[in-house]
Structure 1
Amino acid sequence: MTDKYTQLVSHGLGRDVAKRLGLPQPVELRRYQPGSPLVTGPVLVTGDSPGADDIATTLLGWGLDVRRNALPKEKLGAIIVVLDAVQHPGDLAKPVLTAGTSLRDLGTNARVVTISRTSQSAQTPAGAAARQGIDGLVRSLAKELRAGSTANGILLDDDLATTSPSALGALRFFLSGRSAYVDGQFLTVSSTLGTLPSDPDKPLAGKVAVVTGAARGIGAAIARTLHRDGATIVAVDIPAAGDHLAAVANEVRGTALQFDISRDDAGHRIIEHAVERHGRLDIVVHNAGITRDRLLANMDESRWQSVIAVNIAAQLSINEVLLTSEHFKDAPRIVSVASTSGIAGNRGQTNYGASKGGVIGMVRSTALLMEPFNGTINAVAPGFIETEMTARMPFAIREAARRLNSLKQGGQPRDVAETISFLASDAAGGISGQVLRVCGQQLVGA
């Protein structure tokens, strides 16, 4: 669904009127297009550690215009704050305040990315305090930025270099238009696994990906995006959605598989179809989901059980089969669609919130089971996304939901799809058990 307000206040007279009246001023976000530049201006790298030097050298190798010291009045495309060596909260001041002096020079749709280490791996209370402080710093900064700019962070375990493959993969993701609606979030890199693609525009080349719930909305966007990035698609949905499913499968030159994923044989059918038709199976995206909203006081068993069955029980059942299949052992990827309702909750959605919270718990636990064959499992948690469902919301509620995030607008299905494509790629091989929100940094809830 088109957000006409954002279009109106992004240009000319509409922008001027909104500014004078103090109205929200979202801008049209810079979203990824194949062949587009990674960032739209020079990149400032702050920090005095060897890790900061390594990042600057790597970015130069990517053909970016890198600064170690900002030039006056120069519009920047990104600021990267390397904090991998901080041992005490006092160590934050110099690199952070140096970056702060350049914030006013950020261009539209710019990026701020921190690179630091996990607080859990700190050896001292002071170290843990400094590292956890970066969490609050980044989330606060993300709420200060304007004009479509975002702030996100990369967390490294202590034994990982700033230039480990998935650290660089996460950095490319956060700098690019693929992360347009990801704001105030962190990704943890926990291993040296992963490889950057030889062709950044085709990171899934040669992969076979199954996408459930692919007939419409976010699922269709996932299928299209993974296909654009090089994957062969198996589009899965219920028979009632057959016409739409066939249209999507034909559009992405993949195959369609019609059945209910809550069936006991769902995992076996997915594997058999992928292997028989395409010779392999590399990626499974659990997108299928339903809502049966009702206040808990009015909730009946059928509404509760149907949501649990489709949204989480089916994923658990399919994953059990995947984890024992000889066809899913070559660094496979599982990506599940959770929801901010499973994190912060939502009125009238106790069943849905329970199911999506269940997805998050499943992902964290299953990550350990994927390690023996270098596999990963992660989840995305969308916030307010412009879909047919949100288009049916009452106008006032829809407008409030759109504006209650740092970017002051709803996301697009493709924003969820871009994040999934990254997590499904080889570049994310060192990232597992993570939940990444695609919500523009919602301002309400946990």
Structure 2
Amino acid sequence: MSDLLKELNRNTFTGWLVRALGMPNPVNLLRQDSGYSEYPFKGKTALLATSGGYLEGDVHGMLTSGGADVRNAYNLKDSERPDILVVEASGMTTVEDYPQLYEQLQPLVRRIAVNGRVLVLAPLPRQAETAVAAGVARGLEGFARSLGKELGPRGVTVNLAYVARDAADRLDMVLRFFCGPQTAYVSGQAITVTAETRAPAELPRERLLTGKVALVTGAARGIGLATAQRLRQEGAELIYLDIPTAAGELEKVCQKLGGTPLALDIAAEDAPQQLIAFIREKFGGLDILVHNAGITRDKTLGKMPVSFWRQVMQVNLASIVAIDEALLKAELLRDSGRLVYLSSISGVAGNFGQTNYATTKAALIGYVAALGSQLASRGICANAVAPGFIETAMTDAMPFFTREAGRRLNSLKQGGQPRDVAELICFLTSPGACGINGNTIRVCGQGLIGA
């Protein structure tokens, strides 16, 4: 569905009225339809603001190898508007370091190009030598989130990565995602990058998933379909899973994209065994599993029938755990595998009438944090993705004013696209995301709810 507010802003006859009323004027977000390339920053100007920390040299080299024209504040011309700003703050350990942050960035932030990207690299608080240093590191998260809300109306996304001292070599793919068009609707997020997970032998920079077998549940439509398309674009061999009533849609998807359909109700008691037998016979193993399938059965707790509670628990949580346990027991998840789970903003902040749904989505956040640590020695990463207001058939069916409110309650002042969620999932499934394990990352345009 089109965004009416965007259309009114761009109409010669109505634009003046919208502006006079003080309503938002959402920018067209920078996205791309193609996959990752060897030189994603070609033609881009990147500004590197440094604190003399342990990441400076590595970051400069990674931006340059990606094709960026890397500058500092002193050799940036007055007329230039940088597309990328990386704040290398790994050397900040004292309160006295904050004025330097202000002095470097205050003259620059208004010069960042529309649809620019800002990434703050902070020291990992738990590695700090003093309580003050830990507090200073954590303060950078408040800085980044606030800056995201200031720059968001111009389509600029601002994110932060806490980077362990031994994890500088895990940053290349992090920079390529958070400083590129793939992060159009990911803003105000704080991720943790460590070297605790074994890195794969090869870290490709294009066609990232060539040779990988990926399974996406709920793949017939919406976010699941967009995810399958994106993984396929990066070279993965796809298994498209959805409920038997969607078998016809699955067949059409496979005919168009290539891959293998699997009509299966994941909530069925024998679903894990059926799935294991299918994977073993057809592929011999699995590299990527995206748990996207889920349902809602909304009612306030006082009015919720027990069937609503049990259905949501079974589909959104119990079936996922059962499939994972069967897959690991059968040793079909290969080393350096990737597990991605669709959580929700509801799991972060709760939502009226969704005690059942929010419980399952919050449980997944705790689940990945523990599971990622357990599987790290095999190079396997488990992470969760929490979408906000994404333009789907479900949001199209909302009442007009409810839909409009959902679109505007974020820093970017608009809804996201299924492709935006798929981009984050694709990044997390890539070999280069080996430093990110046990994280939950929102795709919500820095939504104000749960921020």
Shift of 1:20: 4.0
CA contact (8 A) 2:51 2:92 kept: no
User: Equivalents in 2 of 1:400, 1:58: separation in Å?
Assistant: 40
Deviations along 1:47-82, whole A, 9 cap, x unmatched?
A: 142522331232112221110223213111011000
Per-residue deviation, residues 18-46 of structure 1 (Å, max 9, x unmatched): 43432111111111332687356311000
Query: Is the aligned partner of 1:361 residue 2:366?
Result: yes
Shift of 1:247: 1.6
What is the letter of the counterpart of residue 172 of structure 1?
A: R
CA 1:373 to 1:13, structure 2 compared with 1: closer, same or farther past 3 Å? farther
Equivalent residue in structure 2 for 1:240, among 234, 237, 245: 245
- SS of alignment partner, residue 134 of structure 1: helix
* Cα separation, 2, equivalents of 1:269 and 1:408: 44
Are the aligned partners of 1:89 and 1:133 in contact in 2 as well (CA < 8 Å)?
no
Match in the other structure for 1:73:
79
Q: Evaluate the alpha carbon distance shift between residue 301 and residue 287 of structure 1 in structure 2; reply closer, same or farther with a 3 A threshold.
A: same
| Residue type of the alignment partner of 1:51 | L
SS class of match (2:335): coil
The answer to whether the aligner puts 1:85 opposite 2:91 as a matched pair is yes
Distance 2:95 2:359 in 1: 37
The answer for the alignment partner of 1:325 in structure 2 is 330
The answer as to whether partners of 2:285 and 2:334 remain within 8 angstroms in 1 is no
Alpha-carbon contact 1:337-1:380 (below 8 Å) kept: yes
Counterpart contact for 1:156–1:188, Cα < 8 Å? yes
Q: Deviations 1:391-413 (Å, cap 9, x if unpaired)? A: 11110011001000000011111
> Partner residue of 2:160?
153
Q: Which residue is 1:38 aligned to?
A: 40
Equivalences for residues 338-377 of structure 1 within 5 A:
338-377=343-382
Is 1:296 equivalent to 2:301 in the alignment? yes
Alignment length (residue pairs) = 443
Task: Give the partner amino acid of 2:40.
Answer: L
When the two chains are superposed, the root-mean-square deviation of aligned CA atoms in Å is 2.0
Residues 204 and 431 in structure 2, CA contact (< 8 A), matched pair in contact too: no
For residue 47 of structure 1, what is the aligned residue in structure 2? 50
SS at match of 2:67: coil
Match of 2:261 in 1: 256
Q: Is the 8 A contact 1:296 1:348 kept in 2?
A: yes
CA distance in structure 1 between the partners assigned to 2:231 and 2:14 by the alignment: 36
- Answer whether contact 2:167 2:435 (CA < 8 A) is retained: no
Cα displacement (A) at 1:274:
2.9
SS in 2 for 1:330: strand
Aligned to 1:331, the other structure's residue is in SS state: strand
Instruction: Tell me, yes or no, if the aligned pair for 1:196 and 1:427 is still in contact at 8 Å.
Output: no
**Residues 98 and 328 (structure 1 numbering): CA distance in 2 closer, same or farther, change over 3 Å?**
same
Q: Secondary structure at the match of 1:343?
A: helix
1:227-247 CA distance string (max 9 Å, x none): 111111101111111111222
Cα 1:423–1:301 shift into 2, 3 Å = same
Asked whether the 8 Å contact 1:211–1:286 carries over to 2, the reply is yes
Deviation at 1:293, TM superposition (A): 0.4
Aligned partner of 1:416 in structure 2 is: 421
Q: Which runs of 5+ in 2 are unaligned?
A: none
Q: Any conservation in 2 of the 1:236–1:256 contact (CA below 8 Å)?
A: yes
TM-score after normalising by structure 1: 0.94
TM-score, normalised by the number of residues in structure 2: 0.93
Give the Å deviation of 1:8. 4.4
Contact 2:199-2:379 within 8 A present in 1 as well: no
